[in-house]
Amino acid sequence: MRRTAWILFAFALLLGMSPQIASAQAQWSLEGAGDITSISVAEDGSRVAIGSHGAKTYVYGSDGRPIFQAAANNVVNAVDLLADGTLLAASDDRHLYAYDASGSKLWDADLKRQVKSMSASRDGGVIALVVQRNNDLLFVDGKNGEQTNAVPIGTSMRFTKVAGNGEWIIVASGDQFVHLLDKTGKTLLRFGAGGQIQAIDISDAGMTAVGTKLGEVELFDAKGKALRKLKTRDMVSAVAFSKDGETVAVSDLSGYFYIFSPNGKKLWETKAGDTGRAVAFDAGGKTLYAGTDDGRVLQFDTGSVVAKAKSDARIRMLVWAIASVAALALIYVLLRMMKKNDKLGVFREIWRSKWVYLGLAPSFLLIFLFLYFPAFSGLFHSLYKWQPGGRTTFIGLDNFRRMIHDPYVTKGLGNLVILIVTGLAKSLIPPLIVAELIYHLRSKRMQYGFRTAFTASMVIPGVAGLLIWQNFYDPNLGLFNNFLELIGLGSWTHGWLGDPKTALWAIIFMGFPFVGILQLLVFYAGLLSISGELIESAKIDGASLPRIIRSIHLPLLAGQFKFLIILGLIGIIQDFNAIMIVTGGGPMDSTYVPALQMYYAATKFSDLGYASALGVSMFAIILVITIVNMKFIKSAED
């Protein structure tokens, strides 16, 4: 019972490793706003400022209550709410505006050029701007908007961002470099990003987040050292640190919003539109504001999600520690038992053969990576709604329940039963008959010649054979219909693969006369292994050839039958190549099989969780049939 409880506990922890889900608390639709270009949240969290493509700045309370609007003469591309309630808004109309808490204009600075980017510290002590056709980073006075400094960067700039505490300033240039400055404007260092920069942010501790066109956010420390990359589904459109720097919010051009921890773990994601445009945290990092391309601002309660992710991380660390101690204790107990039974010599033997084990290690590693790991991954993900690189949501046994009500699966199971019965008959009876005929040829040279003639067909690619048979069934030019017309049975001509009543049987008939080369060789080798003295004794006792086959050959070939039945069942249940190439599952669903539905779920519909569940179900069926086969078919060695 204790072991079962620990297993369930560990499995529950594994389920908690997937990204969590948060729902939008509120949604504000700003009529005429168009793209949301920027979002800023007041330090106390009471207000949210929103810049829009519709040449307006909107200020809302955290409860969604409109406070005021401020119009500009062009796109408002950057907004910042200062600690004292002042709102800064930069516009493509070449102006930088400042408003007080009630919406009254404090000042209006004409910068003569379009403002491409603007950012300010929380207290307004540092305000930096990037303007069009200027290689200098401009600084202005928060009290009157007058320019106080111009720092030459030496290249075209795209974005700037000031840390909330005002200690750091970063500038992204068009050549994929990021320039880090101190609060006085002195350049400290320069470092490169892996792709064209689309968004930047910097935390109070000097950690930099750089979003690129490559669909990733690169994190750098205060010394410009690359830390890690955060993967997104599409080009990054915005990034934002929480005030404490413990979480990073990201939006991309496919409408997805994410929250990552600085160590690279994805804590949360959601899709909330066609295009994500802006993100910003409140001061506590518990609420995320997200802007879209259709004038909507969404408010997500992410505090509980982040807290749960951190709690899960602590619990997982504790479980790993306990598991490590338990593993060490188990090893210690095993060593003591081996010493007591004088079995420690096995380690000396292993050491003597160390080079042999080293030579086997690559094979074991490759087998694990390409055989065992995908199998365990399929079993694990069959319990999830899974899209690689995206959200992975635990849904328990829903995928398996879905199979019961999936008409393609239920129809496919009926077809599969027919294919199993006919497939086993095709793979066992004709090869056995041919093997018996070759075996009973008197001339060894003739036996060799017929074996060679049959095995030579193995060089023909399987796909080529399928296409040849598809042409045979062609209703206009196919061999079958032309032969029927030739012998006067033109009324029997048919669209064999286009009729739901005949399509499955047409596929079953493919490969006639069904002499599988592997099966033939297995049966023939089994016949050769039968003692000639046994056959001679039976002949002396007056046994006829049919009696010898029935009473000697067939019982002694039980091992071959067992092997070929297992191999045939696995192949029939897993195979969908012929159906996919020849009919694609049609006409209608007359030739569907579960393996084909698994393939379509994985490739056409990107529903890999459901595809994994179908694969696990087929594995279970094969396992049960194999066990039954091994139990009830007795070979000579049993």
State residue 391's pLDDT score. Answer: 58
Q: Which two tokens stand for residue 497?
A: 């693969």
Domain at 31-301: CATH code: 2.130.10.10
Task: Please report which residue ranges of 151-217 form alpha helices under DSSP H.
Answer: none
* Domain residue ranges in the chain: 31-301, 402-637
Q: What is the pLDDT of residues 453-499, one digit of tens each?
A: 888 888 888 888 888 998 999 888 888 889 888 898 888 888 889 88
Distance, CA of 384 to CA of 14 (rounded, Å): 12
Beta carbons within 8 Å of 51's beta carbon, 6+ residues apart: 36, 37, 38, 39, 57, 76, 77, 78, 79, 89, 278
248, 209 Cβ separation under 8 angstroms: yes
Cite the beta strand spans of 47-103 per DSSP E: 47-52, 56-61, 66-71, 76-81, 87-91, 95-99
Which of 563, 460, 433, 575 minimizes the C-alpha distance to 508? 575
**Which residue(s) pair with 6 in the sheet?**
none
Alpha carbon dihedral 399, 405, 407, 410, in 10-degree steps, equals: 80
State residue 30's pLDDT score. Answer: 82
State residue 365's pLDDT score. Answer: 92
Q: Which two tokens stand for residue 489?
A: 């049975």
pTM for the model = 0.55
State residue 16's pLDDT score. Answer: 43
Q: Which two tokens stand for residue 88?
A: 């800064």
Q: Does this chain's domain 31-301 share its CATH topology with 402-637?
A: no
The pLDDT confidence band at residue 388, using thresholds 50, 70 and 90, is low
State residue 615's pLDDT score. Answer: 92
Q: Which residues of 37-74 are buried (b: 16+ CB within 10 A; e: fewer)?
A: bbbbbbbeebbbbbbbbbbbbbbbebeeeebeebebee
Share of the chain above pLDDT 90, in %: 47
pLDDT score of 273 more than 90: no
* C-beta neighbour count of 333 within 10 angstroms: 10
165, 120 Cβ separation under 8 angstroms: no
- State how far the alpha carbon of 553 is from the alpha carbons of 212, 447, 464, 558, in Å: 71, 18, 35, 9
Q: What is the pLDDT of residues 601-614, one digit of tens each?
A: 988 888 889 999 99
Q: What is the pLDDT of residues 365-385, one digit of tens each?
A: 999 998 889 888 888 889 888
State residue 143 phi and psi, 5-degree precision: -85, -30
Q: Could you say which architecture CATH assigns to the domain 402-637?
A: Orthogonal Bundle (1.10)
| Helices 345-352 and 354-367, axial angle in degrees (round to 10) | 80
Distance, CA of 115 to CA of 109 (rounded, Å): 11
Q: What is the pLDDT of residues 501-545, one digit of tens each?
A: 899 999 999 988 889 899 999 999 999 999 888 888 888 888 888
pLDDT score of 7 more than 50: no
More confident residue, 255 or 30: 255
Q: What is the pLDDT of residues 135-180, one digit of tens each?
A: 999 999 999 999 999 999 988 999 999 999 999 999 999 889 999 9
More confident residue, 426 or 18: 426
Q: Which two tokens stand for residue 545?
A: 């050839």
Q: What is the pLDDT of residues 190-210, one digit of tens each?
A: 999 988 999 999 999 999 999
50, 39 Cβ separation under 8 angstroms: yes
The pLDDT confidence band at residue 632, using thresholds 50, 70 and 90, is confident
State residue 110's pLDDT score. Answer: 92
381 membership: H or E segment, kind and range = helix 373-381
> What average pLDDT does this structure show over 41-51?
91
* C-beta neighbour count of 437 within 10 angstroms: 11
387, 269 Cβ separation under 8 angstroms: no
Distance, CA of 235 to CA of 138 (rounded, Å): 28
pLDDT score of 58 more than 90: yes
